């Protein structure tokens, strides 16, 4: 009976999309779903709910339906955002910067949003072509906008697109604006409530002049121009994986002084179908395979690849045998942080008032490195918007050095308030040149850090569960872990349970509870007696639940690295088995 009632409700919602308010192609797609019984599951998934406007905006599969990314869900979200801006900044004409990446329909969605903002008397700065997400963050501050919008689904598969909202500080929306905007968007219940009479006079196209200003700020972040000059011919393979960094990263590298930049021509083609990869995610080894092959052909020292909106970067370096190996986000973050703080120390920039930020699932090695240099390390919830919120909180009081998240996102300096793969590529290349001048490679530098700070090994396993039933299964898994937390995992006693949804930390030995001074988030952490850290959380943007495993051991000599890694990887694997992931 419940399924029959759900199907009846879904068919009624779908039938409403057959009206003249919707374009012919949308009506055709909906009719096809309604007329073919084999499409029942797809019909339900497309219409069983409204696509949720979450704390960052929208993200979902593209197509017709209330639970899909299309010009109608984008339009209603934009009307809600415009209503909020007009109320929040009454008495003045607010302005919004808009950028978009290479994905199918990204330009259409960006232009749709620009038209609706302009119809609501909101001024718009619209990029004339695709641009990296960090440049959108920069543009908000550069042009004095009250908000920003980027159309992207980041590293998600090709069928996805998204709508990510920023505030006037250049960071993604956080409390209280996120909840207030969500409430305003929910008040827009139909396309008839949307003002669609665009005013072109309120839309200003931006491009090269913004690129120039952004690149000039990036160049100011160079920490060792001399090392770059002596290593200007270092061979660097770079791929944008069909995305928005295709021009900006090579330009930034050349501005830093690197001259030998080798492209992967097939992946320089802007294409939202990502024809050369299964997934445009630099966290996945397959996404960088073409770049690795190019590096093998050319003898390149460094490989870098960015995701479609250029806020994440994956890298490969040569190991002690000359073979190319991929580094994970925690390893790259550790190298980058050590380089930055070492150069700050050498140039006398450290005053004792500096801090870094990392997410709670990012390696603890960053905290150890920061401590060595007398720099505070702050943990925030997963999501770079919380790092941006911290930057806003301490602005004028403390000096922000850098921020990191294990999912390949890094930021240095404060003129951008989101992870920035363009700047990160330039600084990573500079760190490689610096290491070379010391007679080391980045790989050797990483091993030396492990000898000094301890061998940290982290892994991430994602369990995908799609559709309505998948979302319910993920929720049930979290409820089970929360309601009956394990007493031990893989033979090691659970010492502490951190529940970020309840904002409580429970010590299983003393039975004491303490408050967690962070916003609510559906994340659970288990800290084991042997120092292992397990974090479990549903993805906020994809139909999956993520298990983060962090283990740690000592490393006395470089020569012991391979065996020590094997032992720690075996421990991490046993943890996953104990949790029932494998």
Domains of the chain (ranges; CATH) run: 49-206 (3.40.120.10), 222-453 (3.40.120.10), 455-578 (3.30.310)
Q: Which residues contact 331 (CB under 8 A, 6 or more apart)?
A: 446
Q: Which of 75, 95, 106, 154 is catalytic?
A: 154
Instruction: Give the CA count within 13 Å in the CB-facing half-sphere of 515.
Output: 4
Instruction: Give the CA count within 13 Å in the CB-facing half-sphere of 144.
Output: 3
Q: What pLDDT score does 541 carry?
A: 67
Q: How far apart are CA 166 and CA 178, in angstroms?
A: 10
Q: Which residues contact 511 (CB under 8 A, 6 or more apart)?
A: none
The answer to whether 90 is a known catalytic residue is no
In order along the chain (582 residues), what is the average pLDDT of each group of 10 residues?
Answer: 81 95 95 91 94 88 97 98 97 94 98 98 98 98 98 93 97 94 94 96 98 98 85 96 98 96 98 96 96 98 97 97 97 98 97 97 97 98 95 97 97 98 98 94 97 95 84 90 93 96 94 94 95 91 88 95 96 94 80
User: pTM for the complete prediction?
Assistant: 0.94
CB 308 within 8 A of CB 280: yes
What CA–CA distances, in Å, run from 86 to 70, 113, 123, 137, 181? 24, 15, 11, 21, 12
Phi-psi domain of 241 (left: phi exceeds 0; alpha: psi -120 through 50; beta: other) = left
Burial class (CB in 10 A: 0-12, 13-18, 19+), 255: middle
Q: What pLDDT score does 2 carry?
A: 59
Q: How far apart are CA 481 and CA 474, in angstroms?
A: 11
CB 383 within 8 A of CB 367: no
Interior angle at CA 458, CA 455 and CA 462, nearest 5:
170
Q: What pLDDT score does 38 carry?
A: 87
Per DSSP, the three-state class of 471 is: helix
Q: Which of 206, 52, 191, 26 is nearest to 114 (CA)?
A: 206
Q: Which of 264, 215, 284, 276 is nearest to 425 (CA)?
A: 215
């Amino acid at each position: 009976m419940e399924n029959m009632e759900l199907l009846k409700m879904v068919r009624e919602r779908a039938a409403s999309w057959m009206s003249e308010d919707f374009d012919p192609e949308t009506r055709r797609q909906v009719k096809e779903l309604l007329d073919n019984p084999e499409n029942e599951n797809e019909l339900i998934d497309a219409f069983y709910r409204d696509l949720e406007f979450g704390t960052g905006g929208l993200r979902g599969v593209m197509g017709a339906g209330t639970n899909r990314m299309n010009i109608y869900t984008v339009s209603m979200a934009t009307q809600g955002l415009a209503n909020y801006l007009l109320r929040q900044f009454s008495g003045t004409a607010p302005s919004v910067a808009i950028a978009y990446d290479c994905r199918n329909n990204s330009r259409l969605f960006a232009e749709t949003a620009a038209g609706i903002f302009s119809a609501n008397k909101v001024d718009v700065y619209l990029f004339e072509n695709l641009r990296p997400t960090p440049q959108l963050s920069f543009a908000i501050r550069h042009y004095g906008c009250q908000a920003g919008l980027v159309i992207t689904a980041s590293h998600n598969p090709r069928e996805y697109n998204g709508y990510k909202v920023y505030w006037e500080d250049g960071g993604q929306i956080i409390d209280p604006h996120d909840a207030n905007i969500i409430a305003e968007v929910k008040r827009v219940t139909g396309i008839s409530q949307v003002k669609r009479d665009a005013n072109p006079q309120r839309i200003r196209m931006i491009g090269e002049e913004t690129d120039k200003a952004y690149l000039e700020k990036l160049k100011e972040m160079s920490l060792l121009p001399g090392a770059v000059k002596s290593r200007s011919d270092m061979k660097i393979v770079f791929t944008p994986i069909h995305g928005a960094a295709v021009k900006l990263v090579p330009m930034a590298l050349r501005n830093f002084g690197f001259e030998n930049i080798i492209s992967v021509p097939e992946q320089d083609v802007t294409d939202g179908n990502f024809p050369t990869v299964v997934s445009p995610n630099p966290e996945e080894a397959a996404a960088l395979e073409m770049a690795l092959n190019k590096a093998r052909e050319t003898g390149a020292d460094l490989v870098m690849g960015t995701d479609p909106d250029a806020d994440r970067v994956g890298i490969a370096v040569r190991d002690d045998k000359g073979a190319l190996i991929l580094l994970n986000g925690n390893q790259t973050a550790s190298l980058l942080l050590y380089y930055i703080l070492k150069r700050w120390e050498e140039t006398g920039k450290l005053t004792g008032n500096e801090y870094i930020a990392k997410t709670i699932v990012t390696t603890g090695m960053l905290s150890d490195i920061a401590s060595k240099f007398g720099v505070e390390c702050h943990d925030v919830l997963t999501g770079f918007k919380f790092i941006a919120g911290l930057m806003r909180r301490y602005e004028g009081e403390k000096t922000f050095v850098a921020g990191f998240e294990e999912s390949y996102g890094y930021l240095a300096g404060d003129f951008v308030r989101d992870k920035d793969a363009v700047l990160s590529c330039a600084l990573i290349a500079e760190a490689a040149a610096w290491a070379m001048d010391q007679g080391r490679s980045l790989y050797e530098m990483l091993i030396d850090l492990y000898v000094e700070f301890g061998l940290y090994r982290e892994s991430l396993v994602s369990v995908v569960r799609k559709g309505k039933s998948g979302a319910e299964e993920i929720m049930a898994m979290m409820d089970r872990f929360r309601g009956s937390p394990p007493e031990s995992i893989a033979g090691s006693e659970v010492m502490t349970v951190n529940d970020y949804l309840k904002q409580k930390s429970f010590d299983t030995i003393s039975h004491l509870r303490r408050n967690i001074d962070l916003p609510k988030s559906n994340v659970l952490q288990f800290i084991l007696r042997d120092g292992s850290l397990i974090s479990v959380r549903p993805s906020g943007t994809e139909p999956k639940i993520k298990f983060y495993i962090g283990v740690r051991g000592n490393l006395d000599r470089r020569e012991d690295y391979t065996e020590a890694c094997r032992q720690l990887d075996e421990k991490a694997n046993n943890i996953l088995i104990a949790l029932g992931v494998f």
